[in-house]
Structure 1
Amino acid sequence: MEKTLMQKIEIFSMNFDFTSAEQKAILQYLQANNYKLTAYKGATGPNQVSSGVPTWFSVSYVEIFGELEIDYEPKYKVYVFNQTNINVNTRILMQAISDETPLGTGLTFNPDGTFHRNSGAPEGVINVINNRPAGTPPVTIGLAAKVNGKFLPFCAFICAPQESVSMKPNEKIVLLASQNNMTSGTVAGNMTGPGCSFTFSAQNMRYDLEMIPENYGIQNVPGTIPVDSVASGASLVQLLNIS
């Protein structure tokens, strides 16, 4: 019971403060040049899409001023998309979505688009059986994680009918400021600008971040929990430990 209660209140946060003169000047440039703050989150498991990673969330800098706090809760839903040709710039749609599903849960996806619980899954994993009839096309199955109150997709796996996928989310996060048109669910293969990566944990639940004036990358505020710098062009698949 104690573990369950802790999970209910566990919130991780990513924070920016654009109130200083330097950060405000950077924000003005990012707004004028149509930048977005774009995020990616990791997961592991067989049959994961190899072309890239679905964009988890994307926030236009035009919408940002003052202090920005992005809250992430490690809560998940399963989604299904009826296409499997997932290339860079494909936008994955959550055409069917389950109720909130704890890690260690097994689900069956039914032909009518509904889900029901089955015998379970290993700790830290959500397992989904595709119960569509043999001979029907494969589908894309993935997880959506809760950020700022919304469940948004962050990983994608290909699953044939009468087979299953095992999805294990990890807490590796990648952030960057980007001029592309990525929205939640749009697949990206590489970093389109410099950014940062970090890993949430019980010890590191809050990251205080700031923009870098020279290249519009992202770093930690001096004196706070450090993050790793990521260069433009780096592979998101490799950064997020996908296997």
Structure 2
Amino acid sequence: MEKTLIQRPGITRYSINFDFTSADQRRILQELQENGYQLLGYKGATGPNQITSGVPTWFAMNFSEMFGLAEIDCEPQYKVYVFNKEVIQPNTTIQMQSLSQEISLGTSLIFHPDGSFSTIGNAPDGVITVRNERPAGTPALTIGLAGKVNGRFQPFCAFTCISQGQASMEPNDNIALFAVQANVTSGSVASNARTSGCEFMFSAGNMEYDLQIVQGTYGITNSPGTAPVDPVPSGQSLIQLLNK
């Protein structure tokens, strides 16, 4: 199915597409729906004091909600979130208890004890920094970035930040996708790939990825003749995969 990626002036939009219109892909989709599969997406970021237990699930979509041509829009727009919890174990679900306004890369913020944010200046190119102004001696927080996917800001990275300390976060456009038989929500922390999937990187030259599900394994690969993706084996560390 031929598509045209439409860009509105001043807005960058990347696209992930699944075409379930062919008989083979419709049959696979029916199997995924009948067996409770979800499409899980992850996005990379780097910086000091990143949590070591895993990365938050950026988006979780039920295959039961998909048919025909399914499109996922990803925009490189960001907000900062704060979660009032220091220790993050695998399967912890990140809660965005405080959420900043949308900010640009290269911005420096202060997080105030009352849960509000204020902008204090510039950060290095491609980086967002946040200073934790809670009083010395109060417990550390989890601070991270929420990225825009299908019109919603959802968490994709997490860093530990002590009181009077600073988080420095640099997002990247490494993306990983998996079809998983599970009930997962956005923000749920995963340490390793639970099944085989794929990875790729958005860029000015590759803004659109057309994908298909592999029969039998339910792995994910590119549709013939479209931008290629790399396979990800089950058990792969998601931190190492996304943050290289």
SS in 2 for 1:168: strand
Q: Which residue of 1 aligns with 2:66?
A: 64
Alpha-carbon shift at residue 6 of structure 1 (Å): 8.9
Q: Which residue of 2 aligns with 1:201?
A: 203
SS in 1 for 2:32: helix
1:155 aligns with 2:179: no
Question: Counterpart amino acid of 1:150?
Answer: R
CA distance in 2, matches of 1:203, 1:6: 17
Structure 2, gaps ≥5 residues long: 1-6
Alpha-carbon shift at residue 241 of structure 1 (Å): 1.6
CA distance in 2, matches of 1:88, 1:34: 22
CA distance in 1, matches of 2:168, 2:10: 23
Structure 1, gaps ≥5 residues long: none
SS in 1 for 2:121: coil
CA distance in 2, matches of 1:209, 1:22: 14
Moved more, 176-185 or 48-57: 176-185
CA distance in 2, matches of 1:89, 1:164: 25
Alpha-carbon shift at residue 8 of structure 1 (Å): 3.2
Mapping of 1:39-188 within 5 angstroms? 39-188=41-190
TM-score under structure 2 length normalisation: 0.95
CA distance in 2, matches of 1:212, 1:157: 35
Q: Could you say if the C-alpha distance between residues 100 and 228 of structure 1 is closer, same or farther in structure 2, counting changes exceeding 3 Å?
A: same
SS in 1 for 2:52: coil
Alpha-carbon shift at residue 85 of structure 1 (Å): 1.2
Identity %: 59
TM-score under structure 1 length normalisation: 0.96
Alignment root-mean-square deviation, CA? 1.3
Q: Which residue of 1 aligns with 2:236?
A: 234
Question: Counterpart amino acid of 1:193?
Answer: T
CA distance in 2, matches of 1:36, 1:106: 36
Question: Counterpart amino acid of 1:237?
Answer: I
Q: Which residue of 1 aligns with 2:222?
A: 220
Question: Counterpart amino acid of 1:187?
Answer: V
